[in-house]
Structure 1
Amino acid sequence: MEQIDKQLSFKIRLLSLVSMILVVYVHAYTLDLNGFAGALTEHKNYNTFIQDFISHGIARVATPLFFTVSGFLFFIGFKPKAAVILQKLHKRIPSLLIPFLLWSAFGIGLYYVLQLFPSITPYFPNRIIRDMSSEQLLTTLILHPIPYQLWFLRDLMMLALVATAVWLLVKYLQENFLALLAIAWFADLDFGIFVSESLLFFSVGCYLKTNPVLLAKIKANYNFLPVLFAWVGLLVFKTELSFLGYENQVVLMLLHKLAIVIGFVATWRCINTVADKTRIINRKWLFSAVSPFFIYAFHEPLLTIIKKGLLIMLYSGTEITSLLVYLFAPIVVILASIVAGEVLRRTTPCLFQVITGNRDKPTTKQEHISPKQEPILVKTQV
């Protein structure tokens, strides 16, 4: 089995955790979203600016980062041979398919239980579980899960099926293939079975894995401040355009995606620098007690329920209430996810491993390393 540098493995873990926190804030909007123009509201104010800047700006790098990491890990040890391809697909069953079905079923069950209470039912106008036919339940389970963030797993499963074609195209077309995918992404085109964003960044992960020289360069420690300032500055500019009511969706889309590209680089450089210059990778709780995948799967529909509940209880018709719910509901959900995940890990470890796709096994003391240590090679689950 091919091996990767242990320190790189820890950086990927830290990157996944940071990205997962950002995903929660992507879903934290307390306002309707108006495409690339940000929050949908008649009047823009400090509330819409902050929510747009965070959820429609900073946090939007999370999904590309996830797909890149997934693509990189998928193509470790990959060869266009039947035995290798079948092995890779077989591993996707416990790591993707089973968690997808279990968490989707959990969402259906949770809604069904909540809808047993007449006072709560009106807050679920579009999905009354008890009124669904068998066909509708199956569609909800597989195609339109209640925990809507599961689309990421669904796309990954589809990408696994076309991974050989991706590998061949990346190997022989190199940057030309990525350029074509980037054009499709900037043009906001989709491919039916998965979105252009997922294919592009999954392919970027493949490209990084098949180009060890480039991988060595991105592992090098560069000054992250210039690209970080460029990213934040572009996000401020883009958010300000939306705040002023700028209506050209094409320009807003291009700025939005350019910011994602710059943010993609900035986030990695920040993570790389923090991991190399601190001892954060020795923090046992960070790698054994916190499960990025559990936060990902557990945070919705819990976040939506908590947001609705807080807005109902605290509503005063002011923007400050909306903003406070936006800022603090994700924190409550993240902490609840960490606690619930740790309880399950300790009380029902087998169940925890199944629902997290065997991603979050406890880390032993021997696995912790100092940034000053020489790289150690370890087997990595893909």
Structure 2
Amino acid sequence: MASSSTSSSIPPAVSAHIRFLTAVAAVMVVYIHGTTVGFTSGDWSDPSAWIQGYLSHNLFHVSLLIFFFCSAFLLFVGVDGIGDIGGKLRKRGRSLIVPYLLWSGLWLVVLLLARLVGNLDLGAQEAPSGVEAVLYRLFVDPVAGQLWFLRDLIVLTALSPLLFVLPRWVGPALLAAAYVVWLWVPTPTVIENRSGWWEIVSTEAIVWFLAGVVAARFLDLDKLDRILRDRRAWVSLASCVGYLLLPLAKGGPFMPASVAFGLSTTLGFVFLVSLYPWIARLVHSEVVARFGSFSFLLYAGHYPTLKIVGLSVVAILGPSAEVALATYALAPLVVIIGVIFGLSVLGRVWPGAVLALNGYRPVYPFLASRTVK
């Protein structure tokens, strides 16, 4: 647990690295949804598809671990008991539920209008018909599939005060047990692929939310700051090697695919965290501060826009492997720039809308002084 001298504030190095990690994670998530294999042959064995699969469905998946860990860490840091968490939960509820409903509703309206006006396929699931189906897509299974993260996070945040009712050792014990389950019995991240009520929250979400909670409650912030600043080249090198090579062992005779995947993304998390001493100047730069404030907006706003762009490019230039790979590399960048530019313009015209879409988090620089009250 953080000491009393440090519990009220996060050291600048830790805070800046969290901002950097979430910015990197946001870009990774865009590329996860940027694969173009489905637009062409659908064969994941050709070289173009293999590269996309190796990056988007293996290495870049570490982004979700980062998001859950950082969300839980920031919620629990400096909290000594259930009485301290009430104010944080109120703010967190507003910063999660409001944007979840806004983005879910926005993409649902866009999907319905596209089907109604032009019978267009936006790369989303089938448009709902009937009040019950519309409500289900709005609250439970959003059109923008990436919102599953917010839905799982809302559930975990609501349940998190239970950790203060249970004995202190329960948190680490649950984390260890959940980690083993996650390695061997992972839950599908896509909500429609989950099979029952026991999968209302993914095992991945549980593990890395608990990891953030345990880190916030058991690690002294001053010590964490010192660890982060300490250069340990062997940690960075070893974790990087495991992060890059373990995906190649997926499905092999000695390692089940889920275990290789889980260990690889875990080592990827360690690798990215360990980079701070080597990239401290970049982490604390104004570029990262500006870009990092758009991380949540990029996460929530990139899809299904990205799929529309990818489908359009492949339809115009043809479904060759070269076009598919080039589209995979460039379309996410176009969407990232478009989301940041579009929301920046909207923020100057209608700042309250962007603030709400961002969960009342400050957006640098034009909404930097407007936060949750």
| 1:293-337 deviation per Cα after TM superposition (whole angstroms, max 9, x unaligned) | 111111011111111212211224x21121111111111111111
Cα deviation, residue 76, structure 1: 2.4
Aligned length: 352
Label 1:100 to 1:42 Cα distance change in 2 as closer, same or farther (>3 A): closer
Q: When the two structures are superposed, what TM-score results if normalisation uses the length of structure 2?
A: 0.84
Cα deviation, residue 69, structure 1: 0.4
Q: % of aligned pairs identical?
A: 26
- 1:20 maps to 26
Contact 1:227 1:262 in 2 (8 A): no
Runs of 4+ in 1 over 4 A off after TM superposition: 39-43, 122-126, 167-170, 246-250
Correspondent of 1:200 among 204, 207, 210: 207
Question: Structure 1 counterpart of 2:228, which letter?
Answer: K
Label 1:256 to 1:66 Cα distance change in 2 as closer, same or farther (>3 A): same
Correspondent of 2:149 among 145, 149, 152: 152
Cα deviation, residue 134, structure 1: 0.8
Cα deviation, residue 231, structure 1: 3.1
Question: Structure 1 counterpart of 2:265, which letter?
Answer: I
- 1:376 maps to none
Q: How does 1:241-252 map to 2 (within 5 A)?
A: 251-252=256-257
Say whether residues 1:185 and 2:204 are aligned partners: no
Q: How does 1:67-78 map to 2 (within 5 A)?
A: 67-78=68-79
Contact 2:91 2:372 in 1 (8 A): no
- 2:247 maps to 238
Q: How does 1:81-230 map to 2 (within 5 A)?
A: 81=82, 83-118=83-118, 120-121=119-120, 126-128=125-127, 132-167=129-164, 171-173=168-170, 175-190=172-187, 191-213=198-220, 215-216=224-225, 218-224=227-233, 227-228=236-237, 230=239
Cα deviation, residue 55, structure 1: 0.6
- 1:263 maps to 268
Cα deviation, residue 201, structure 1: 0.7
Runs of at least 5 residues in structure 1 that lack an aligned partner in the other structure: 33-38, 368-379
Cα deviation, residue 49, structure 1: 2.1
Contact 1:27 1:55 in 2 (8 A): yes
Correspondent of 1:350 among 335, 349, 352: 352
Q: 2: CA distance between counterparts of 1:209 and 1:12?
A: 13
Question: Structure 2 counterpart of 1:30, which letter?
Answer: T
Label 1:339 to 1:50 Cα distance change in 2 as closer, same or farther (>3 A): same
| 1:51-94 deviation per Cα after TM superposition (whole angstroms, max 9, x unaligned) | 1221122201100011110010010232443x544323321332
Q: Residue 210 of structure 1 aligns to a residue in which SS?
A: helix
Q: Residue 144 of structure 1 aligns to a residue in which SS?
A: coil
Say whether residues 1:57 and 2:58 are aligned partners: yes
Q: When the two structures are superposed, what TM-score results if normalisation uses the length of structure 1?
A: 0.82
Q: Residue 168 of structure 2 aligns to a residue in which SS?
A: helix
Contact 2:65 2:204 in 1 (8 A): yes
Q: Residue 146 of structure 1 aligns to a residue in which SS?
A: coil
Say whether residues 1:341 and 2:346 are aligned partners: no
Q: 1: CA distance between counterparts of 2:124 and 2:361?
A: 36
